[in-house]
Chain A
């Protein structure tokens, strides 16, 4: 008998779709716990059952513990998958699930408290003699104390949300004059995104690489690692491109860092999927933090190792996943993920919202797309701007880069602007190609965003010509197969379905 047959999903967008697919393959029903704003989404259309848990504002829906618990129980779910972001690293939520008789698909709330809280995680690592970045993680959160600690650590210093992740609630202090403003801004973002304004300080390593190890604790408590990912391409501390495995690790470093990751996971009695993040600078590695959840970039690990981490999570929660000592997993080839954000690459990356038009991801071997919205859905300003992820695998890193560039060039997203042009530029940059990029790569090379190569007047003139032909009707050399289904109606009427 399985321990549960119906799984509630306390999340939205592409990760909700990812979890629904894993549940479907395992023969489990799903309950989507969604906000009022997300009824036009793929997850909503795919879930077996759905229940609205509150209005668009995250504090009242996706971050509202009681609303999620009540929704899950009311719909007869026996387990909850939190995805990533929102409540995924919230120990109180995991504990409330347990109290309410729901199985939380993830580590125990005790593990989340120990490892997920950056302060206690560092204390544990310190005790075990694991390498750490110098910083301040004290309980005294007054501005005066924080400012004093910034001086003690020495500039540059980074301010981070203790409960955070994903780049939110993170600010860099380069000069004392901006310290107060940056600390307060980080506190506000932390409060808004994670419900807690506690921050900590860390020395900013200014030419480091971001390397992380996927760890996984099975039903018996045995923790293993599933190798590394590199996520050095970050903007405002938000990852943009991730790959597995890192092009920067020697076998010796890989072995040592993997051991540290497994040690920390074992000490924290870790169960399920987690990630141990490191910074690597001048051949030295420093433990950064543990993310006690699935990562956005988990697909690249899945691609090089041939595993399904979401299914492994679910099976572990059912006490059905146990590491096999005889099974040797070795990464093969190279995988890259690009996060596709709804933003305008040519306007400094400002968010772009609106009704989605045609969305087309080009098919092909070892190309994978994780996305949460289709044509006719609306991208709103309430949530994260990540609308999709493109993942490719190929025999070698150079081939994976080539493949990703092709994929991005052939992808169509109408209705909102995306960072696709930006991603193509990054993938074509010599520093990315030779794999030497650090976490400052974007700041150094793409600080001002992109400049359009086109003369605005020429493009506008072309667009006016195109528009004339467009309204003239049967213009051009014909319609593609996918468009044929809509050509019977007015071609744009279909965008309005479901509104």
Chain B
């Protein structure tokens, strides 16, 4: 760990961690170097892509391709650290593809369900 301008700074894996006063935050190194930034596309909200918010296991899949879904409808359930998390739809649309099945171990950011794109409210 280094102290830079009164901040605690440390590289852990490929992430830079910074603590300034009582606040701690981190960035991927790739986001901080000029080169990495060019490579990274702008991050816009994509409610039609249901992504794993954390690494974990899929415990239940409620929908299949072609199903119509309502806003707030549960699509699948995943488990991490012994807690269940229900992933819900933010759109009223139909299911385009389901790429997760029960008992899959998934990484954070993995695409689990793709919905047909519609304008969200």
Interface residues of A (CB under 8 A from B): 58, 168, 181, 185, 188-189, 192-193, 236, 342, 347, 350-358, 381-385, 408-410, 412-415, 417-418, 420-421, 424, 454, 459-460, 463-464, 466-467, 469-470, 475-480, 482-483, 486, 491-492, 495
Contacts and interface: CB of A to CB of B under 8 A. Distances in A.
Contacts of A347: 53
Given A463-B32, A491-B10, A414 B17 contact: yes
B11 interface: yes
A411 to B, nearest CB: 9
A188 B80 contact: no
A466 B13 contact: no
B82 A192 contact: yes
B92 interface: no
Contact of A475 (B4, B27, B84): B4
A487 B22 CA distance: 24
Contact of B7 (A381, A410, A466): A466
Interface in B23-74: 23-27, 29, 31-33, 53-56, 59-60, 74
B82 A168 contact: yes
Q: Chain A contact residues: over half helix, strand or loop, or mixed?
A: mixed
B3 A384 contact: no
B118 interface: no
A471 B46 CA distance: 34
A92 B32 CA distance: 54
Contacts of B13: 354-355, 415, 495
A28 B7 CA distance: 43
Contacts of A355: 12-13
Interface residues of B, number: 45
Contacts of B32: 460, 463-464, 467
Contacts of B5: 466, 469, 476-477
Interface string B74-106: 100101111111100000000000000000000
Contacts of B86: 185
A358 B3 CA distance: 13
Contact of A181 (B3, B23, B74): B74
B19 A412 contact: yes
B1 A482 contact: yes
Contact of A189 (B15, B33, B84): B84
23 contacts: A192-B79, A350-B53, A354-B15, A355-B12, A357-B1, A358-B10, A381-B81, A409-B21, A414-B17, A414-B24, A414-B26, A417-B24, A418-B24, A424-B22, A454-B23, A463-B32, A469-B5, A470-B11, A475-B4, A478-B3, A491-B1, A492-B10, A492-B12
Contact of B80 (A351, A408, A475): A351
B110 interface: no
Interface of B: 1-13, 15-19, 21-27, 29, 31-33, 53-56, 59-60, 74, 77, 79-86
B80 A381 contact: yes
A37 to B, nearest CB: 13
Nearest to B62: A181
Contacts of B81: 342, 351, 381-385
Interface centre among A192, A351, A383, A415 (most CB of B within 10 A): A351
A460 B80 contact: no
A383 B16 CA distance: 25
Given A236-B83, A467-B32, A358 B8 contact: yes
A478 to B, nearest CB: 6
Contacts of A188: 59-60, 77, 84
Nearest to B11: A492
A483 B4 CA distance: 12
Given A463-B16, A476-B2, A412 B82 contact: no
A408 B21 CA distance: 11
A483 B81 CA distance: 32
Nearest to A236: B83
Contact of A185 (B10, B53, B55, B77): B77
Nearest to A58: B82
Contacts of A58: 82
Given A420-B24, A421-B23, A193 B2 contact: no
B17 A415 contact: yes
Contact of A479 (B3, B24, B54): B3
A399 B2 CA distance: 33
A358 B59 CA distance: 34
A414 B80 CA distance: 21
Contacts of A415: 12-13, 15, 17
Given A351-B55, A483-B2, 20 more contacts: A168-B83, A181-B74, A188-B59, A188-B60, A189-B83, A192-B59, A354-B13, A354-B15, A357-B10, A382-B81, A384-B81, A384-B82, A415-B12, A466-B4, A466-B16, A467-B16, A470-B2, A470-B4, A475-B4, A479-B2
